[in-house]
Amino acid sequence: MNCIIIEDEIPAQKVLKSFIGKMPSITLVDTFNAAIEANSFLNNNTVDVVFLDINLPDMSGLDFIKTVKNPPAIIMTTAYPEYAVNSFELDTIVDYLVKPFSFDRFLKAVNKAKDRIEIPENNQENSNEETIFLNVDKTLHKLVLSSIMYIESDRNYITVVTETQKLSYIDSLKNWIEKLSDTQFIQVHKSYIINSKFVDKISGNTLFVKAHKIPIGRTYKQELLKLLGV
C-alpha cells in the first residue's frame, strides 16, 4: 500500500513517518502541510491510504474529504476525540487516531485500511456472480447463487442452505428448478436440489454435502453420477 500524510504539525508528521517506516507493507509517497496542496496531488495521483489531520490551516480535514473524488481509505489523526462521531459518518474513514497514539494503535488502524482496500478487490472478483434476493420474514436476503449448497422442500416450504445461512420460506422446488440455470445444480430427490461443487462423497443412496446427508432418489441417481463424471 502507498500513502500520504496531510498534517501541519511537524512533531505529528515525524511520528507518522517513524511508524510508517517500521512497516514494509506501506510506503510513504509524500507529506503535505495543507489540504489544498494535497488536493492538487490527488487530482493527478492515486494512493491507497491518507493520514489526515482534522485541524488544518486552510480547511478542516472533514471538509477536505468531501472535495476529493473517489477518496482513498482515510485514517483521521487529531488531538480532539469529540470529532470522532462526526468523522465516522463518512464511509471513507476507516479509523480515528487520537494524539498521542501508540505504534500498536497505529498498526491496528493500518490493518483496518488494508481490510477496506482488499474487500472491493474481492467484490470485483465476484461481480459477475449471479445473485438473488429472498424475502424471508419481511426481510430481503441477498444470496450469491453459487454459494447455495442445497435446497430442501418440505410441503409448502423451501429451505435454502449455504455455509453461513439457512433461510426458510413459502415456495416450491419447481420454481427453484426454473431459477437455477447453472449446470452445477441438480435435483437428486423429489425434495432436494444440490450444488454439485459441495458434494464431498456418495455412499449408497446418500450423498454428503459438507456435513449434511442428502438422500438420492432412484430415478435421479444416474443423472447425478453423470454430472459428477462417475
pLDDT of residue 33: 92
Claim to verify: residue 14 and residue 119 sit in the same structural domain: yes
Looking at residue 206, which CATH number applies to its domain?
2.40.50.1020
Claim to verify: residue 110 and residue 140 sit in the same structural domain: no
DSSP track, the chain: -EEEEE-S-HHHHHHHHHHHHT-TT-EEEEEESSHHHHHHHHHH---SEEEEES--SSS-HHHHHHHSSS--EEEEEES-GGGHHHHTTSTTEEEEEESS--HHHHHHHHHHHHHHHHHHHHHHHTTTS-EEEEEETTEEEEEEGGGEEEEEEETTEEEEEESS-EEEEE--HHHHHHH--STTEEEEETTEEEEGGGEEEEETTEEEETTEEEE--TTTHHHHHHHTT-
Looking at residue 112, which CATH number applies to its domain?
3.40.50.2300
Claim to verify: residue 97 and residue 164 sit in the same structural domain: no
pLDDT in tens, 93-111: 888 888 889 999 999 889 8
Q: How many domains are contained in the chain?
A: 2
The boundaries of the domain holding residue 43 are: 2-125
With a cut of 70, list the residues of the chain below it in pLDDT: 81-91, 119-128, 181-182
pTM above 0.75, yes or no: no
**Pick from 125, 153, 181: which residue ends a domain?**
125
pLDDT of residue 16: 96
**Pick from 125, 143, 158: which residue ends a domain?**
125
pLDDT of residue 179: 80
Claim to verify: residue 110 and residue 149 sit in the same structural domain: no
**Pick from 108, 125, 142: which residue ends a domain?**
125
